[in-house]
Amino acid sequence: MKQMTAPARTRLVEIVVPVYNEQRVLAESVRRLHAYLTATFPYGFRITIADNASTDATWRVATGLGRELSHVHAVHLDVKGRGRALRRVWSASDADVVAYMDVDLSTDLDAFLPLVAPLLSGHSDLAIGTRLSRGSNVVRGPKREFISRTYNLLLRSAMGARFSDAQCGFKAARTEIVQALLPAVEDEEWFFDTELLLLAERHGLRIHEVPVDWVDDPDSRVDIVRTAKDDLRGMARVARKTLSGAARIPVPPRVQRAQLPSGMARQLPSFAVIGVLCTLAHLGLFVLLRSVMPAVAANAVALLVTAVANTAANRRFTFGVTGRTGALRHQLEGGMAFLVGLLLSTGGLTLLGYLMPGASATVQAAAVIAANALATLVRFLLMRTWVFNPRRAKGAGR
């Protein structure tokens, strides 16, 4: 029975899993990937199983997974070739970002969000997992290690490549970028990745690298010798095209999308409502107390009362902190924000006294409101980054 569809999310990432005769591991791997993304991935996703003309029960397993799991689809190709499968799915994708990973899930899935995040933000155009970084943790035999390092060294020395690992089966790209580059990529098999990356670099596109934890699949059926020969032929072909001055491809520009930090979109409306209510309360108290005490003293008392109420309200409704644990500390630290507000508004009133001696209560109130507007911004930033920062709570519990 198909699982319930998760709530719609604003951005979409499509992950392609190319397979050829993988009936033994396909179901387990896709279920694991689906469960991981459902539980941890903060964006919408679609998993597409691309069957490369399998001759076993792979297609039957793939279509069964499509019926069973939400966000899982399957496509069938009559001709083999990993590059061909990726081209087929990526060229028709409507996702914001397209990606692929090997069916054995050799790469730790915790690297997936760091892989696609720079693409979704517009910071980078393509992203690759790298097993050759100092921060990577790789378990594989010496033969594969030697071949991989030799191949990538050859790419850097002969082709001028700046990326470190062309062969890791863990890559992603902005869909509009990939769809612009695909017509110029000729390879349909294992060199497809390398050719795409080389072409991207020739066009000045930004390639983001993520160190990964990677465990070699001992059951891998890749023909290393044949693949190496095909890669060398592919490098020679790309070099000839580069030297011949092939026409540049009109790739879309990188777009920087202005995005609020995590959680701020939800916190700002609540903080604003509480701020308005506290400002009105502060103004009312100030006008009331102004008739029995000097303006500076009236402002200090009014600000103190409303600061306590403001901290308590934001603690509960803006930052979602409940219970008594840490309440006193929050009030004391919120008091620091109160002092900032007191200094700003008191300074404003003092300056007003020098510039406009004998100013009316209305003018004084306007000066207090202006000073409080700046104090409110400072208070929000202090509360978000310091007083109610969830990292402090996690650190205290260790």
In a domain, 258, yes or no: no
Question: Does residue 248 lie within any of the structural domains?
Answer: no
Q: How many CA atoms lie within 13 A of 34 on its CB side?
A: 23
44-48, 259-263, 394-398: which has the minimum mean pLDDT?
A: 394-398
Same-domain status, 349 and 202: no
pLDDT of residue 270: 79
Q: Is residue 257 part of a domain?
A: no
Range of the domain at 99: 12-243
Domain boundary among 243, 272, 293: 243
User: Does some domain include residue 250?
Assistant: no
- Give pLDDT, residue 206: 94
Among 211, 243, 275, the domain-final residue is 243
User: Which whole number is the average pLDDT over 224-229?
Assistant: 67
Same domain, 343 and 235: no
Q: Are residues 36 and 181 in the same domain?
A: yes
**Residues 143 and 220 occupy one common structural domain:** yes
Per-residue pLDDT, 243: 64
User: pLDDT tens, 142-185?
Assistant: 777 777 788 878 888 778 888 888 888 899 999 999 999 999 99
The label of the residue with tokens 């993520």 reads 210
160 located within any domain: yes
Whether 270 and 235 map to the same domain: the answer is no
Which residue did the predictor score with more confidence, 382 or 345? 382
Tell me what pLDDT residue 34 has. Answer: 97
Is 167 within the bounds of a domain?
Answer: yes
- pLDDT for the residue 255: 54
Same domain? For 129 and 225 the reply is yes
DSSP calls for 287-351: HHHHTTS-HHHHHHHHHHHHHHHHHHHIIIIIS---SSTTHHHHHHHHHHHHHHHHHHHHHHHHH
Looking at the fold, whether 237 and 285 belong to one and the same domain comes out as no
Is 235 in the same domain as 281? no
CA distances 60 to 14, 21, 220, 369, Å, are: 21, 11, 21, 68
The CATH number of the domain holding residue 191 is: 3.90.550.10
Examine the domain organization and report whether 198 and 64 are in the same domain. yes
Once rounded to an integer, what is the mean pLDDT over residues 344-371?
72
The answer to whether 246 touches 237, Cβ cutoff 8 Å, is no
Q: Which of 42-56, 161-175, 183-197, 372-386 has the lowest mean pLDDT?
A: 372-386
Q: Which residue did the predictor score with more confidence, 116 or 8?
A: 116
Verify that 275 and 237 share a domain, yes or no: no
Query: Percent helix, strand and coil across the chain, each rounded to 5?
Result: 55, 15, 30
Q: Which of 96, 165, 187, 193 is catalytic?
A: 193
Residue 258 confidence (pLDDT) above 60: no
Q: Does residue 280 belong to any structural domain of this protein?
A: yes
Q: Within this chain, do residues 83 and 213 fall inside the same structural domain, yes or no?
A: yes
Grade residue 85 by pLDDT with cuts at 50, 70 and 90. very high
pTM: 0.61
> What percent of the chain has pLDDT above 90?
38
- Cα 230 → chain centroid: 35
Percent of the chain with pLDDT over 70: 81
Q: Which of the two residues, 225 and 323, has the higher pLDDT score?
A: 323
Domain count across the chain: 2
Q: Are residues 344 and 375 in the same domain?
A: yes
Most confident of 91-95, 234-238, 310-314: 91-95
Answer yes or no: is 256 within a domain. no
Instruction: Note if 104 is an active site residue.
Output: no
